[in-house]
Amino acid sequence: MTGLAILVALSPLTGPAAALAGARARLAGAAQTAGAAVALGCSLALLVTLNGHAPLAGWDGFLYVDSLGGFFAMTVAGVTLLAALGSIGYVSAQEDSGELSGFQVRLYFTFFGLFASLMLAALETGNLGLLFVLVEASTLASAALVGIEGRSRSLEAAWKYIIISSLGVTIALAGTLFLFYSASALHLGSNLGLTWPYLLAHAQALAPQSLRLAFLLAVVGYGTKVGLAPMHTWLPDAHAEAPSPASAMLSAALLNVGMYAIIRFLAIAQARLGGTYPRAVLLSFGFASIVVGALFMVRRGNFKRLFAYSSVEHMGIIAVALGFGGVLGLYGALLQTLNHALAKAVLFLSSGDVALRYRTREAGQVSGLLAAVPVTGGALLLASFAVLGSPPFGLFLSELTIVRAGFAHGSPVFPLLLLALLGLAFVAFARTTAGMVTGEPPQLTSPYRGRAAVAVTAAPLILGLAALLVLGLWIPAGLDAVLRHSIRVIG
Amino acid sequence: MQSLSATSAAGVLLDLSGVVILLLAFACLASKLFNRYVVYYGAQSVVLSFAAGTAAVAFHSAELWILAALTFAVKGIAIPVAARRLLVTRLALKRDAAMSSGLSTSLIAGGALTAFAYLVTRPALLPHGTVASAVVPLSTAVILLGSLSMVVRRHTVAQLIGWLIVENGVFLGAITLVATFPFIVEAGIFLDIVAGVLIMVVFVSGLTRQLAEASAAELRELRG
């Protein structure tokens, strides 16, 4: 089992290996895809073996995988697979057109694989200090991806991203220190004492005042990575300027890793402080993010920025779901995480195809997508509806669960407010995407060479949408079990 | 956890180092010359390595000695020298004009933040008095001052130094815990900082090539 867990974290390094060996975009992309597929397979196998049994732990708690970590690892590995598939078409088209040099392509795949690997490793450690180290390292790797095109706009976005996120994650480290301070009554003497399961088991011995500060700092710090308002300011720039498959990784994988860290702190805080304080914190940040996300979506402009603000909104929804709490709230939050990851990956990957074909990222200059490129247009339209929570897609189910959890939570004000904001987001988002897919298409030239490249671009879109549709109609028994085990882990 | 009371010699030295580190953070906040930023940061790191050495003596910890040596070599010498060569000299940076508030205003704000740090980290937060009492509020104050100088200064190099000061603040807080903090994590944090500085230097140079002056104030293409 330990071998499986290591394989999950290391197999995405096939892409960097191929890139360092000097492979061109197609080959490096294929290697990256194969590595991501192995990672996804191993994470699924890991979940099956874990199924309700004791978590996998070793090396003084540096390695620790439970159902919750396994679930997030599966999500991240799945997104990595979709984004790696998308990278083949996107990056090789850019390489062919000369927009990216051979060096930049190698750099792209090196950091892409490293980024995925670091995120997966972060989900498999129980040591909270190491969690910080890996999350910060993944920030650095992804910042290189954001700035890869080297234009002044992308460098500006990368700078904003790296400086805001690094500061945020450093604040999370301060939060981790305060958590350890709060545990000084435990006389932590070994590495094992700094691990999440140990602290959770001994939560009653933690000093509440210090823990309260630790939780707040962790939410602010890791919340910067999640994109919770008001720490979200880096997010739209980075998502808009990164190459589209990298945007998909940021939105659908990285934000979730930040949320995962918050969930770990939430579990400890709830065990000692009770539900009221941590939930109030999450509800405030969550609603702030939904409001900011929905309001900024009203503005028409760069469609990748639109998707990015939708990520801010969705991360807010997940935070609100955690704030509602209870089995329903946690179930909804986890389901929403998976569904949002799939939908956003499809959206960003299709936006990459649109950007290549139309040579613009402005929504106003894109029209007739459905007529010009039926597969991408259809995927964009369907994924838009999915991300807005319409049936029959998975997000409808998870958002319904979250609203139900809200009504169960007590005051009906919060779930009603949530519904109103979701309505606003729907109108704002659909207004822009509807304009993109309908109308008369302009004269377009295909950026791809050969039919294979077109097929490989369509593959992740179809795969992602199919998964979304399945999750909307039916939750497989295995997934249901994993979600229930994860909830039990959090407590 | 081994204890380090505030009255022992090591505790007093640690507290003193904390005070000097805070003063150097203030000095950096009050300065307007890029050269000075780098010098103050280097001096702060040297004091930090001294603090780590003090803790190493008190805790009889070999790992702490390594950390103290690493801090001295990397943060005290390598990063300041590299920052001076690669950024300050090569980009011909002298006076920092891109500030969003006057020096006196930011100093007053810094004073308020220091008071705030003492307020939120009252001794009640730290049960059983296991750590040198002054270090926790001091390190919190350094973190806040570093953040403040990142907010006030709009030049990318100044923001980079601000982030490094925040890191120093966190590290100061970590020293008091270091009897328990695993070495591998500390080493990882170190590695992150070095990698972070490297990547940031690349970005700053890239931005400078494209803009006349790599000032974040001029980074305003992306809005809304």
A-contacting residues in B 102-121 (Cβ below 8 Å)? 120-121
Express each pLDDT in A216-266 by its tens digit.
999 999 999 999 988 888 999 999 999 999 999 999 999 999 999 999 999
Chain segment B205-219, per-residue pLDDT in tens: 777 766 554 455 556
Provide φ and ψ at B202, rounded to 5°.
-60, -45
Distance from CA of B168 to the nearest CA of A (A): 10
- Distance, in Å, from the CA atom of A175 to the CA atom of A286, rounded to the nearest integer, reads 19
Residues in chain B with CB shorter than 8 Å from the CB of A238 are none
Q: Using DSSP bridges, classify how beta strands A56-58 and A63-65 pair: parallel, antiparallel or unpaired.
A: antiparallel
Q: What residues contact residue A217 under an 8 Å CB cut-off, 6+ apart? A: A171, A172, A174, A175, A178
* pLDDT tens profile A368-412: 888 888 888 889 999 998 988 888 888 888 999 999 988 887 788
Test A177 with B170 for CB contact under 8 angstroms.
yes
Assess B159–A contact: CB distance below 8 Å, yes or no.
yes
ipTM for the whole complex: 0.86
Q: Work out whether the CA dihedral A355, A357, A359, A365 comes out positive or negative.
A: negative
Asked if B1 lies within 8 A of A160 by C-beta distance, the reply is no
Residue among B117, B132, B143 at smallest CA distance from B14: B132
A67 CB-side CA count, 13 A: 21
Whether residue A174 and residue B170 make contact (CB cut-off 8 A), yes or no, is: yes
Using alpha carbons, select from A39, A61, A32, A11 the residue that is nearest to residue A190: A61
pLDDT score, position A97: 85
B145: contact with A, CB 8 A cutoff:
no
What is the C-alpha to C-alpha distance for residues A429 and A385, in angstroms, rounded to an integer? 9
Residue B112: pLDDT over 80: yes
- Cβ of A177 within 8 Å of Cβ of B167? The answer is no
Separation in Å, CA of A329 to nearest CA in chain B? 31
Residue A437 has pLDDT above 80, yes or no: yes
Residue B126 binned pLDDT confidence (cut-offs 50, 70, 90): low
Q: Of A338, A312, A176, A167, give the one whose Cα is nearest residue A238.
A: A312
Reduced to 3 states (helix: H, G, I; strand: E, B; else coil), residue B155 is strand
Least confident range of A33-37, A346-350, A450-454, B29-33: A450-454
Q: What is the pLDDT of residues A8-46, one digit of tens each?
A: 889 999 999 998 888 888 899 999 999 999 999 999 999
Instruction: Write out residues 50-69 of A within 8 Å (CB-CB) of B.
Output: 60, 62
CB-based contact B221 A156, cutoff 8 Å: yes
Residues of chain A in contact with residue B192, where contact means CB-CB under 8 angstroms, are 133, 136-137, 140
Which residues of chain B lie closer than 8 angstroms to A166, CB-CB? 163, 196
**Nearest-angstrom CA–CA distance, B51 and B14:** 5
Which chain A residues contact residue B216 at CB under 8 A?
A: 159
Q: Give the side-chain half-sphere CA count within 13 A for A117.
A: 19
Contacts of A420 (CB under 8 A, 6+ apart): none
A184 touches chain B (CB under 8 A): yes
The shortest CB-CB distance from A184 to any of B1, B182, B192 is to: B1
**B181 vs A contacts (CB less than 8 Å):** 129, 180, 194
Smallest CA-to-CA distance from B162 within B205, B118, B98, B210 is with B98
Give the A:B interface size as CB pairs under 8 Å. 146
pLDDT value, residue B1: 39
A209 neighbourhood in chain B, CB within 8 Å: 124-125
Query: Which chain A residues have a beta carbon less than 8 Å from that of B180?
Result: 180, 188-190, 193-194
Say if the Cβ atoms of B125 and A181 lie within 8 Å: yes
Record: contact B167-A170, CB cut-off 8 A: yes
User: Mean pLDDT, to the nearest integer, of A423-433?
Assistant: 88
How many Å lie between the alpha carbon of B141 and the closest alpha carbon of chain A? 12
Whether B123 has its CB under 8 Å from any CB of chain A: the answer is: no
CB contact under 8 A, A184 and B140: no
- Residue A66 contacts residue A489 (beta carbons within 8 Å): yes
Which chain B residues have a beta carbon less than 8 Å from that of A180? 177, 180-181
Model-level pTM?
A: 0.91
B173, closest residue in chain A (CA to CA): A177
Chain B contact present for A303, CB below 8 A: no
pLDDT, position B180: 58
Helix (H), strand (E), coil (C) string for chain A: CHHHHHHHHHHHHHHHHHHHCCCCHHHHHHHHHHHHHHHHHHHHHHHHHHCCCCCEEEHHHCEEECHHHHHHHHHHHHHHHHHHHHHHHHHHHHHHCCCCCHHHHHHHHHHHHHHHHHHHHHCCCCEHHHHHHHHHHHHHHHHHHHCCCCCHHHHHHHHHHHHHHHHHHHHHHHHHHHHHHHCHHHCCCCHHHHEHHHHHHCHHHCCHHHHHHHHHHHHHHHHHHHCCCCCCCHHHHHHHHCCHHHHHHHHHHHHHHHHHHHHHHHHHHHHHHCCHHHHHHHHHHHHHHHHHHHHHHHCCCEHHHHHHHHHHHHHHHHHHHHHHCHHHHHHHHHHHHHHHHHHHHHHHHHHHHHHHHHCCCEHHHCCCHHHHCHHHHHHHHHHHHHHCCCCCCHHHHHHHHHHHHHHHHCCCHHHHHHHHHHHHHHHHHHHHHHHHHCCCCCCCCCCCCCHHHHHHHHHHHHHHHHHHHHHHHCCCHHHHHHHHHHHHHHC
Question: Who among A155, A213, A240 is closest to B120 (CB)?
Answer: A213
Which residue do the tokens 């946690």 mark? A330
3-class DSSP state of B188: helix
